[in-house]
Structure 1
Amino acid sequence: MRRILSFLEETSGRELILPVTPSSYQWDHGNRVETVQLDQSGELNLPGGALMGSCTLSDVLFPAQLYSFCNPGAVDNPYVYIEQLERWSNDGAVVRWLVSGTPTNAQVLIERIQYGERDGTNDIYATIDLRQYRKPEAPVLSLSGGGAQTSRDSRTGAAQQRSYTVQAGDTLWGIAQQYYGDGRQYTRLAQANRDIVSNPNLIYPGQTLVIPAADSLPEAGAGSASTALAGRTQSTWDPVTGTWNLTVQGV
Protein backbone atom coordinates (compact mmCIF):
# COMPACT_ATOMS: atom_id res chain seq x y z
CA MET A 1 0.00 0.00 0.00
CA ARG A 2 1.27 3.44 -0.85
CA ARG A 3 2.07 5.52 2.23
CA ILE A 4 0.64 9.01 2.49
CA LEU A 5 2.52 11.47 4.71
CA SER A 6 0.57 14.42 6.02
CA PHE A 7 0.48 17.18 8.64
CA LEU A 8 -2.69 17.94 10.60
CA GLU A 9 -3.33 21.25 12.34
CA GLU A 10 -5.58 20.10 15.16
CA THR A 11 -6.93 23.54 16.06
CA SER A 12 -8.45 24.05 12.61
CA GLY A 13 -8.64 20.49 11.25
CA ARG A 14 -6.52 21.51 8.23
CA GLU A 15 -4.62 18.56 6.74
CA LEU A 16 -1.66 19.14 4.41
CA ILE A 17 -0.83 16.02 2.37
CA LEU A 18 2.65 15.87 0.84
CA PRO A 19 2.16 15.85 -2.96
CA VAL A 20 4.85 13.17 -3.47
CA THR A 21 5.57 10.44 -0.94
CA PRO A 22 9.27 10.62 0.06
CA SER A 23 11.34 7.56 -0.76
CA SER A 24 12.08 7.02 2.94
CA TYR A 25 11.60 8.42 6.43
CA GLN A 26 13.00 7.58 9.85
CA TRP A 27 11.53 8.43 13.23
CA ASP A 28 14.03 8.49 16.12
CA HIS A 29 12.71 7.24 19.46
CA GLY A 30 14.90 6.68 22.47
CA ASN A 31 15.46 6.68 26.22
CA ARG A 32 18.22 8.48 28.07
CA VAL A 33 20.59 6.06 29.81
CA GLU A 34 22.40 7.23 32.94
CA THR A 35 25.70 5.53 33.85
CA VAL A 36 26.70 5.36 37.51
CA GLN A 37 29.76 3.90 39.20
CA LEU A 38 29.32 1.63 42.23
CA ASP A 39 32.25 0.83 44.49
CA GLN A 40 31.65 -2.93 44.57
CA SER A 41 29.75 -3.58 41.33
CA GLY A 42 31.47 -1.20 38.96
CA GLU A 43 29.63 0.51 36.13
CA LEU A 44 25.83 0.34 36.06
CA ASN A 45 23.43 1.65 33.38
CA LEU A 46 20.02 2.93 34.48
CA PRO A 47 17.09 4.37 32.51
CA GLY A 48 17.09 8.14 32.79
CA GLY A 49 13.82 9.17 31.12
CA ALA A 50 12.33 9.26 27.66
CA LEU A 51 13.89 11.37 24.91
CA MET A 52 11.72 13.33 22.53
CA GLY A 53 11.40 11.84 19.06
CA SER A 54 12.71 13.55 15.94
CA CYS A 55 12.67 13.09 12.19
CA THR A 56 14.29 14.59 9.13
CA LEU A 57 12.38 14.28 5.87
CA SER A 58 14.89 14.54 3.04
CA ASP A 59 14.39 15.17 -0.67
CA VAL A 60 10.73 16.08 -0.25
CA LEU A 61 9.52 16.99 -3.73
CA PHE A 62 7.08 19.85 -4.23
CA PRO A 63 6.37 19.72 -7.98
CA ALA A 64 5.80 22.64 -10.33
CA GLN A 65 3.92 20.27 -12.65
CA LEU A 66 1.73 17.24 -12.05
CA TYR A 67 3.78 14.10 -12.64
CA SER A 68 2.29 10.61 -12.91
CA PHE A 69 3.71 9.73 -9.48
CA CYS A 70 2.08 12.67 -7.67
CA ASN A 71 -0.49 11.80 -5.06
CA PRO A 72 -4.07 12.52 -6.18
CA GLY A 73 -5.13 16.01 -5.16
CA ALA A 74 -1.60 17.41 -5.50
CA VAL A 75 -1.23 21.05 -6.52
CA ASP A 76 1.33 22.09 -9.17
CA ASN A 77 2.52 25.09 -7.16
CA PRO A 78 5.37 24.26 -4.75
CA TYR A 79 4.89 27.42 -2.72
CA VAL A 80 1.39 26.47 -1.64
CA TYR A 81 3.08 23.82 0.49
CA ILE A 82 6.19 25.79 1.41
CA GLU A 83 4.23 28.81 2.64
CA GLN A 84 1.95 26.71 4.84
CA LEU A 85 4.88 24.83 6.38
CA GLU A 86 6.76 28.10 6.96
CA ARG A 87 3.68 29.62 8.59
CA TRP A 88 3.40 26.71 11.01
CA SER A 89 7.13 26.92 11.73
CA ASN A 90 7.10 30.69 12.27
CA ASP A 91 4.05 30.51 14.54
CA GLY A 92 5.52 27.69 16.60
CA ALA A 93 2.37 25.73 15.82
CA VAL A 94 2.03 22.21 17.14
CA VAL A 95 0.93 19.95 14.28
CA ARG A 96 0.34 16.23 14.12
CA TRP A 97 2.58 14.25 11.75
CA LEU A 98 0.89 11.17 10.28
CA VAL A 99 2.00 8.26 8.11
CA SER A 100 -0.98 6.36 6.74
CA GLY A 101 -1.31 2.67 7.55
CA THR A 102 1.19 2.87 10.44
CA PRO A 103 1.07 3.86 14.13
CA THR A 104 3.28 6.87 13.32
CA ASN A 105 1.17 9.67 14.76
CA ALA A 106 2.97 12.34 16.77
CA GLN A 107 2.61 15.96 17.74
CA VAL A 108 5.60 17.82 16.34
CA LEU A 109 7.13 21.24 15.88
CA ILE A 110 8.60 22.12 12.49
CA GLU A 111 12.12 23.09 13.49
CA ARG A 112 13.57 23.97 10.08
CA ILE A 113 12.79 23.90 6.36
CA GLN A 114 15.53 24.03 3.74
CA TYR A 115 14.48 24.15 0.11
CA GLY A 116 15.63 25.10 -3.37
CA GLU A 117 15.61 24.21 -7.07
CA ARG A 118 17.99 21.79 -8.78
CA ASP A 119 17.28 20.99 -12.39
CA GLY A 120 15.56 23.89 -14.11
CA THR A 121 12.07 22.37 -13.83
CA ASN A 122 10.99 24.85 -11.11
CA ASP A 123 10.35 21.87 -8.84
CA ILE A 124 11.30 22.46 -5.22
CA TYR A 125 13.26 19.93 -3.18
CA ALA A 126 13.06 20.37 0.59
CA THR A 127 14.47 19.00 3.83
CA ILE A 128 12.10 19.27 6.80
CA ASP A 129 13.29 18.79 10.38
CA LEU A 130 10.64 17.74 12.91
CA ARG A 131 10.89 17.62 16.71
CA GLN A 132 8.34 15.86 18.89
CA TYR A 133 6.23 18.07 21.17
CA ARG A 134 4.93 17.22 24.60
CA LYS A 135 2.81 19.58 26.66
CA PRO A 136 4.33 20.23 30.11
CA GLU A 137 2.16 18.76 32.83
CA ALA A 138 2.08 19.25 36.58
CA PRO A 139 3.36 16.21 38.50
CA VAL A 140 0.83 13.96 40.22
CA LEU A 141 1.41 14.00 43.99
CA SER A 142 0.54 11.28 46.47
CA LEU A 143 -2.66 11.74 48.42
CA SER A 144 -2.68 11.24 52.17
CA GLY A 145 -3.62 7.69 53.11
CA GLY A 146 -2.32 6.11 49.90
CA GLY A 147 -0.36 6.57 46.70
CA ALA A 148 -1.69 8.16 43.54
CA GLN A 149 -2.30 5.82 40.61
CA THR A 150 0.58 6.21 38.16
CA SER A 151 -0.28 3.67 35.49
CA ARG A 152 -3.34 3.16 33.33
CA ASP A 153 -5.44 0.03 33.08
CA SER A 154 -3.35 -2.32 30.92
CA ARG A 155 -5.97 -5.06 30.46
CA THR A 156 -6.69 -5.99 26.88
CA GLY A 157 -9.59 -7.63 25.12
CA ALA A 158 -12.19 -5.80 27.19
CA ALA A 159 -14.92 -8.22 28.30
CA GLN A 160 -17.51 -5.54 29.00
CA GLN A 161 -18.13 -1.96 27.94
CA ARG A 162 -16.41 0.79 29.86
CA SER A 163 -15.43 4.42 29.36
CA TYR A 164 -12.11 6.20 29.05
CA THR A 165 -11.24 9.90 29.33
CA VAL A 166 -8.66 11.03 26.77
CA GLN A 167 -5.40 12.31 28.23
CA ALA A 168 -2.87 14.68 26.65
CA GLY A 169 -0.71 12.75 24.17
CA ASP A 170 -3.23 9.94 23.66
CA THR A 171 -3.97 8.48 20.23
CA LEU A 172 -6.77 6.12 19.26
CA TRP A 173 -4.11 3.65 18.12
CA GLY A 174 -2.57 3.65 21.62
CA ILE A 175 -5.94 3.34 23.35
CA ALA A 176 -6.92 0.42 21.10
CA GLN A 177 -3.55 -1.22 21.86
CA GLN A 178 -4.17 -0.74 25.58
CA TYR A 179 -7.64 -2.22 25.71
CA TYR A 180 -7.68 -4.73 22.84
CA GLY A 181 -4.02 -5.60 22.41
CA ASP A 182 -4.17 -4.47 18.76
CA GLY A 183 -3.67 -0.83 17.76
CA ARG A 184 -5.14 -1.56 14.33
CA GLN A 185 -8.58 -1.64 15.94
CA TYR A 186 -8.44 2.16 16.27
CA THR A 187 -10.72 2.73 13.27
CA ARG A 188 -13.36 0.44 14.78
CA LEU A 189 -13.00 2.23 18.09
CA ALA A 190 -13.49 5.53 16.25
CA GLN A 191 -16.67 4.16 14.68
CA ALA A 192 -17.95 3.21 18.13
CA ASN A 193 -17.45 6.87 19.12
CA ARG A 194 -18.54 8.42 15.81
CA ASP A 195 -20.76 10.96 17.62
CA ILE A 196 -17.66 12.73 19.00
CA VAL A 197 -14.79 11.42 16.81
CA SER A 198 -15.11 12.62 13.22
CA ASN A 199 -11.44 11.94 12.37
CA PRO A 200 -9.69 8.83 13.80
CA ASN A 201 -6.41 10.79 13.88
CA LEU A 202 -7.86 13.67 15.90
CA ILE A 203 -8.95 13.28 19.52
CA TYR A 204 -8.79 15.83 22.35
CA PRO A 205 -7.96 15.66 26.07
CA GLY A 206 -11.12 15.54 28.14
CA GLN A 207 -13.21 13.61 25.63
CA THR A 208 -14.92 10.56 27.12
CA LEU A 209 -14.76 7.55 24.83
CA VAL A 210 -16.87 4.43 24.96
CA ILE A 211 -14.71 1.28 25.07
CA PRO A 212 -16.96 -1.53 23.82
CA ALA A 213 -16.40 -5.17 24.66
CA ALA A 214 -13.98 -6.71 22.17
CA ASP A 215 -16.68 -8.75 20.47
CA SER A 216 -18.96 -5.72 20.15
CA LEU A 217 -16.65 -3.42 18.19
CA PRO A 218 -18.43 -2.12 15.05
CA GLU A 219 -16.92 -2.24 11.59
CA ALA A 220 -14.57 0.62 10.76
CA GLY A 221 -16.04 3.75 9.23
CA ALA A 222 -14.42 6.34 6.98
CA GLY A 223 -10.96 7.49 8.06
CA SER A 224 -9.09 10.76 7.55
CA ALA A 225 -8.49 12.19 4.09
CA SER A 226 -4.95 10.81 3.98
CA THR A 227 -5.96 7.33 5.15
CA ALA A 228 -8.82 7.17 2.66
CA LEU A 229 -6.54 8.34 -0.15
CA ALA A 230 -3.90 5.75 0.68
CA GLY A 231 -6.45 2.97 0.71
CA ARG A 232 -7.73 3.87 -2.76
CA THR A 233 -4.31 4.35 -4.37
CA GLN A 234 -2.53 1.51 -6.15
CA SER A 235 0.85 1.54 -7.92
CA THR A 236 1.55 -0.72 -10.90
CA TRP A 237 4.80 -1.17 -12.87
CA ASP A 238 4.65 -0.92 -16.66
CA PRO A 239 7.62 -2.92 -18.04
CA VAL A 240 7.09 -1.50 -21.55
CA THR A 241 7.49 2.16 -20.59
CA GLY A 242 9.60 1.47 -17.50
CA THR A 243 7.41 3.67 -15.30
CA TRP A 244 5.15 3.37 -12.29
CA ASN A 245 1.49 4.23 -12.85
CA LEU A 246 -0.89 5.35 -10.10
CA THR A 247 -4.58 4.51 -10.16
CA VAL A 248 -7.10 5.76 -7.63
CA GLN A 249 -10.40 4.01 -7.23
CA GLY A 250 -13.42 6.28 -7.48
CA VAL A 251 -11.53 9.08 -9.33
Structure 2
Amino acid sequence: MEIWLKNGTDAIQLPILPSTFTVSVENSHQTVNVQTKGDVTILGKTGLKTVELTSFFPGQDYSFAAYAKDRDPYDYIDKILSWQEKAVRITITDTNINLQTTIQSFSYGEPDISGDVEFTLSMQEYRKPTYTKPPKDKKNNNNSGGGKKDDKNNKKPGKDNKSKSKNYTVKKGDTLWAIAKKYYGAGSKYTKIYNANKSVIEKAAKKHGKKSSTNKGVKGWWIFPGTKLVIPK
Protein backbone atom coordinates (compact mmCIF):
# COMPACT_ATOMS: atom_id res chain seq x y z
CA MET A 1 0.00 0.00 0.00
CA GLU A 2 1.14 3.53 -0.80
CA ILE A 3 -0.37 6.88 0.19
CA TRP A 4 0.18 9.81 -2.17
CA LEU A 5 -0.76 13.49 -1.89
CA LYS A 6 -0.74 15.40 -5.18
CA ASN A 7 -1.27 19.02 -6.21
CA GLY A 8 -0.97 19.21 -9.99
CA THR A 9 2.44 17.80 -10.91
CA ASP A 10 3.74 18.26 -7.37
CA ALA A 11 3.44 15.15 -5.19
CA ILE A 12 4.72 13.48 -2.03
CA GLN A 13 4.45 9.89 -0.85
CA LEU A 14 3.97 9.43 2.88
CA PRO A 15 7.13 7.65 4.07
CA ILE A 16 5.46 5.96 7.06
CA LEU A 17 2.09 4.29 6.59
CA PRO A 18 -0.43 5.06 9.34
CA SER A 19 -1.51 2.15 11.49
CA THR A 20 -5.10 3.06 10.62
CA PHE A 21 -6.97 5.63 8.56
CA THR A 22 -10.63 6.62 8.62
CA VAL A 23 -13.02 7.48 5.79
CA SER A 24 -16.46 8.81 6.67
CA VAL A 25 -19.42 10.28 4.80
CA GLU A 26 -22.65 11.83 6.02
CA ASN A 27 -25.95 11.97 4.16
CA SER A 28 -28.59 14.69 4.27
CA HIS A 29 -31.53 12.37 4.97
CA GLN A 30 -34.27 13.93 7.08
CA THR A 31 -36.76 12.38 9.46
CA VAL A 32 -40.15 14.07 9.67
CA ASN A 33 -43.26 13.16 11.59
CA VAL A 34 -46.46 12.59 9.62
CA GLN A 35 -49.60 12.61 11.70
CA THR A 36 -51.10 9.46 10.21
CA LYS A 37 -47.87 7.46 9.80
CA GLY A 38 -45.45 8.62 12.48
CA ASP A 39 -41.80 9.19 11.60
CA VAL A 40 -40.84 8.85 7.93
CA THR A 41 -37.53 9.39 6.17
CA ILE A 42 -36.97 11.78 3.29
CA LEU A 43 -33.93 10.73 1.28
CA GLY A 44 -31.32 13.42 0.71
CA LYS A 45 -28.10 13.78 -1.22
CA THR A 46 -24.80 12.15 -0.29
CA GLY A 47 -22.49 14.40 1.68
CA LEU A 48 -18.77 14.94 1.22
CA LYS A 49 -16.36 12.18 2.20
CA THR A 50 -13.68 12.92 4.78
CA VAL A 51 -10.36 11.12 5.20
CA GLU A 52 -8.35 11.33 8.42
CA LEU A 53 -4.99 9.73 9.07
CA THR A 54 -2.27 9.99 11.70
CA SER A 55 1.38 9.09 11.17
CA PHE A 56 4.82 10.71 11.41
CA PHE A 57 7.58 12.05 9.21
CA PRO A 58 10.83 10.30 10.16
CA GLY A 59 13.85 12.14 11.46
CA GLN A 60 16.00 9.08 10.82
CA ASP A 61 16.04 5.94 8.69
CA TYR A 62 13.63 3.15 9.63
CA SER A 63 13.54 -0.30 8.11
CA PHE A 64 9.74 -0.23 7.94
CA ALA A 65 9.61 3.07 6.01
CA ALA A 66 8.24 3.04 2.45
CA TYR A 67 11.57 4.42 1.22
CA ALA A 68 14.88 5.63 2.61
CA LYS A 69 14.93 9.00 4.37
CA ASP A 70 15.51 11.58 1.65
CA ARG A 71 14.57 14.88 3.30
CA ASP A 72 14.01 16.68 6.57
CA PRO A 73 10.59 16.06 8.21
CA TYR A 74 9.78 19.77 7.97
CA ASP A 75 10.16 19.66 4.20
CA TYR A 76 6.98 17.56 4.20
CA ILE A 77 5.34 19.96 6.66
CA ASP A 78 6.15 23.02 4.53
CA LYS A 79 4.81 21.29 1.44
CA ILE A 80 1.47 20.43 3.06
CA LEU A 81 1.17 23.94 4.56
CA SER A 82 1.65 25.43 1.09
CA TRP A 83 -1.28 23.32 -0.18
CA GLN A 84 -3.80 24.38 2.45
CA GLU A 85 -5.72 26.69 0.13
CA LYS A 86 -5.50 24.39 -2.89
CA ALA A 87 -7.17 21.21 -4.09
CA VAL A 88 -5.11 18.13 -3.16
CA ARG A 89 -5.68 14.61 -4.46
CA ILE A 90 -5.19 11.75 -2.00
CA THR A 91 -4.61 8.30 -3.44
CA ILE A 92 -4.32 5.15 -1.32
CA THR A 93 -3.28 2.21 -3.45
CA ASP A 94 -4.97 -1.18 -2.95
CA THR A 95 -8.14 0.69 -1.86
CA ASN A 96 -10.94 2.61 -3.59
CA ILE A 97 -9.69 5.93 -2.23
CA ASN A 98 -8.74 8.36 -5.00
CA LEU A 99 -10.26 11.71 -4.09
CA GLN A 100 -9.81 15.35 -4.96
CA THR A 101 -9.90 17.03 -1.54
CA THR A 102 -9.20 20.14 0.48
CA ILE A 103 -7.18 20.13 3.69
CA GLN A 104 -9.59 20.76 6.57
CA SER A 105 -7.05 20.56 9.39
CA PHE A 106 -3.39 19.74 9.82
CA SER A 107 -1.62 19.49 13.17
CA TYR A 108 1.94 18.38 13.90
CA GLY A 109 4.58 18.30 16.63
CA GLU A 110 7.61 16.50 18.03
CA PRO A 111 6.80 14.00 20.82
CA ASP A 112 10.43 13.35 21.83
CA ILE A 113 14.05 14.02 20.86
CA SER A 114 14.14 11.46 18.04
CA GLY A 115 13.59 14.14 15.41
CA ASP A 116 10.38 12.47 14.22
CA VAL A 117 7.43 14.80 13.61
CA GLU A 118 4.01 13.34 14.32
CA PHE A 119 1.00 14.71 12.41
CA THR A 120 -2.73 14.34 11.97
CA LEU A 121 -4.21 15.24 8.59
CA SER A 122 -7.93 15.66 7.94
CA MET A 123 -9.11 16.07 4.33
CA GLN A 124 -12.57 16.62 2.85
CA GLU A 125 -13.77 15.69 -0.62
CA TYR A 126 -13.75 18.67 -3.01
CA ARG A 127 -16.62 19.19 -5.40
CA LYS A 128 -16.04 22.15 -7.69
CA PRO A 129 -19.07 24.44 -7.77
CA THR A 130 -20.80 25.19 -11.07
CA TYR A 131 -22.65 28.38 -11.85
CA THR A 132 -25.46 29.21 -14.24
CA LYS A 133 -26.01 32.78 -15.35
CA PRO A 134 -29.60 33.92 -14.74
CA PRO A 135 -31.54 35.01 -17.87
CA LYS A 136 -31.71 38.73 -18.51
CA ASP A 137 -34.93 40.45 -17.54
CA LYS A 138 -36.01 42.15 -20.78
CA LYS A 139 -38.66 44.20 -19.01
CA ASN A 140 -36.12 45.97 -16.84
CA ASN A 141 -33.86 46.66 -19.83
CA ASN A 142 -36.57 48.44 -21.84
CA ASN A 143 -37.08 52.12 -21.10
CA SER A 144 -40.60 52.17 -22.56
CA GLY A 145 -41.52 55.43 -20.84
CA GLY A 146 -38.92 57.35 -22.80
CA GLY A 147 -37.87 59.20 -19.67
CA LYS A 148 -34.96 58.88 -17.31
CA LYS A 149 -34.06 55.48 -15.98
CA ASP A 150 -34.91 54.66 -12.41
CA ASP A 151 -32.29 56.37 -10.28
CA LYS A 152 -32.68 53.69 -7.59
CA ASN A 153 -31.20 51.10 -9.95
CA ASN A 154 -28.28 53.35 -10.87
CA LYS A 155 -27.13 54.39 -7.41
CA LYS A 156 -23.58 53.51 -6.58
CA PRO A 157 -23.08 51.53 -3.40
CA GLY A 158 -22.22 53.77 -0.49
CA LYS A 159 -19.83 53.26 2.37
CA ASP A 160 -22.42 51.25 4.27
CA ASN A 161 -22.27 48.55 1.58
CA LYS A 162 -18.53 48.11 1.72
CA SER A 163 -17.25 45.17 3.63
CA LYS A 164 -15.53 46.22 6.81
CA SER A 165 -12.49 44.60 8.33
CA LYS A 166 -12.40 43.73 12.03
CA ASN A 167 -9.72 44.50 14.57
CA TYR A 168 -8.32 41.98 17.03
CA THR A 169 -5.79 42.35 19.84
CA VAL A 170 -3.59 39.30 20.37
CA LYS A 171 -3.97 37.64 23.78
CA LYS A 172 -1.66 35.29 25.65
CA GLY A 173 -1.74 31.82 24.11
CA ASP A 174 -3.14 33.00 20.75
CA THR A 175 -1.91 31.60 17.42
CA LEU A 176 -2.74 32.84 13.93
CA TRP A 177 -4.22 29.38 13.24
CA ALA A 178 -6.64 29.73 16.17
CA ILE A 179 -7.56 33.31 15.23
CA ALA A 180 -8.26 32.26 11.62
CA LYS A 181 -10.35 29.36 12.93
CA LYS A 182 -12.39 31.85 15.01
CA TYR A 183 -13.07 34.36 12.25
CA TYR A 184 -13.10 32.21 9.11
CA GLY A 185 -13.96 28.78 10.46
CA ALA A 186 -10.71 27.39 9.02
CA GLY A 187 -7.28 27.66 10.62
CA SER A 188 -5.68 27.11 7.22
CA LYS A 189 -6.58 30.72 6.34
CA TYR A 190 -4.02 32.06 8.82
CA THR A 191 -1.91 33.28 5.88
CA LYS A 192 -4.67 35.75 5.01
CA ILE A 193 -4.27 37.38 8.42
CA TYR A 194 -0.47 37.24 8.24
CA ASN A 195 -0.35 38.91 4.81
CA ALA A 196 -2.66 41.71 5.98
CA ASN A 197 -0.55 42.34 9.10
CA LYS A 198 2.95 41.33 7.97
CA SER A 199 4.71 44.55 9.02
CA VAL A 200 3.00 44.66 12.43
CA ILE A 201 3.72 40.98 13.18
CA GLU A 202 7.36 41.20 12.10
CA LYS A 203 7.89 44.41 14.07
CA ALA A 204 6.48 42.79 17.22
CA ALA A 205 8.68 39.70 16.71
CA LYS A 206 11.86 41.82 16.49
CA LYS A 207 10.76 43.84 19.50
CA HIS A 208 10.65 40.59 21.50
CA GLY A 209 14.12 39.50 20.39
CA LYS A 210 13.19 37.32 17.41
CA LYS A 211 14.83 37.67 13.99
CA SER A 212 11.39 37.23 12.43
CA SER A 213 8.00 35.70 13.17
CA THR A 214 8.94 32.57 11.20
CA ASN A 215 9.64 29.27 12.94
CA LYS A 216 10.23 25.95 11.20
CA GLY A 217 9.20 27.51 7.90
CA VAL A 218 5.84 28.79 9.18
CA LYS A 219 5.35 32.55 8.91
CA GLY A 220 3.49 34.21 11.79
CA TRP A 221 4.44 31.43 14.21
CA TRP A 222 5.56 34.00 16.79
CA ILE A 223 2.86 36.50 17.75
CA PHE A 224 2.74 38.44 21.01
CA PRO A 225 0.02 39.73 23.37
CA GLY A 226 -0.99 43.30 22.75
CA THR A 227 -0.32 43.21 19.00
CA LYS A 228 -3.27 44.75 17.18
CA LEU A 229 -4.29 42.86 14.04
CA VAL A 230 -6.65 43.70 11.21
CA ILE A 231 -8.88 40.74 10.29
CA PRO A 232 -9.71 41.18 6.59
CA LYS A 233 -12.97 40.03 5.06
What SS does structure 2 have at the residue aligned with 1:85?
helix
Give, as a single letter, the amino acid of the residue that structure 2 aligns with 1:32.
S
Quote the Cα distance in structure 1 between the aligned partners of 2:122 and 2:107: 9
What SS does structure 2 have at the residue aligned with 1:86?
helix
What SS does structure 2 have at the residue aligned with 1:82?
helix
Deviation at 1:137, TM superposition (A): 2.1
Instruction: Say if 2:79 is the partner of 1:79.
Output: no
Q: Work out which of the two has the higher radius of gyration on C-alpha atoms and give 1 or 2.
A: 2
What SS does structure 2 have at the residue aligned with 1:55?
strand
**1:44-193 residue pairs with structure 2 within 5 A?**
44-58=40-54, 60-72=55-67, 74-89=69-84, 92-138=85-131
> Which 10-residue stretch deviates more, 69-78 or 48-57?
69-78
Deviation at 1:119, TM superposition (A): 2.0
Q: 1:5-40: per-residue Cα shift (whole Å, max 9, x none)?
A: 111113xx1221001111110111232211112121
Quote the Cα distance in structure 1 between the aligned partners of 2:74 and 2:18: 18
Quote the Cα distance in structure 1 between the aligned partners of 2:83 and 2:39: 45
Quote the Cα distance in structure 1 between the aligned partners of 2:47 and 2:7: 24
The 8 Å contact of residues 117 and 124 in structure 1, kept in 2 or not, is answered as: yes
The 8 Å contact of residues 66 and 76 in structure 1, kept in 2 or not, is answered as: no
Deviation at 1:88, TM superposition (A): 0.3
Paired residue for 1:23, among 2, 19, 39? 19
Total equivalences in the alignment: 132
Identify the residue that residue 6 of structure 1 maps to in structure 2: 4
Among all aligned residue pairs of Structure 1 and Structure 2, give the percentage whose two residues are the same amino acid.
28
Quote the Cα distance in structure 2 between the aligned partners of 1:105 and 1:114: 22
Paired residue for 2:39, among 36, 43, 64? 43
Quote the Cα distance in structure 2 between the aligned partners of 1:74 and 1:138: 45
Q: 1:135-185: per-residue Cα shift (whole Å, max 9, x none)?
A: 01247xxxxxxxxxxxxxxxxxxxxxxxxxxxxxxxxxxxxxxxxxxxxxx
What SS does structure 1 have at the residue aligned with 2:21?
coil
Task: Point out where structure 1 has 5 or more consecutive residues left out of the alignment.
Answer: 140-251
**1:198-213 residue pairs with structure 2 within 5 A?**
none
Quote the Cα distance in structure 2 between the aligned partners of 1:55 and 1:103: 12
What SS does structure 2 have at the residue aligned with 1:26?
strand
TM-score between both structures, scaled by the size of structure 1 = 0.50
Quote the Cα distance in structure 1 between the aligned partners of 2:69 and 2:46: 37
The 8 Å contact of residues 54 and 132 in structure 1, kept in 2 or not, is answered as: yes
Identify the residue that residue 33 of structure 1 maps to in structure 2: 29
Give, as a single letter, the amino acid of the residue that structure 2 aligns with 1:102.
T
RMSD value over aligned CA atoms? 1.5
TM-score between both structures, scaled by the size of structure 2 = 0.54
Q: 1:108-135: per-residue Cα shift (whole Å, max 9, x none)?
A: 1112211111121011001111111100
Deviation at 1:78, TM superposition (A): 0.3
Quote the Cα distance in structure 1 between the aligned partners of 2:37 and 2:104: 42
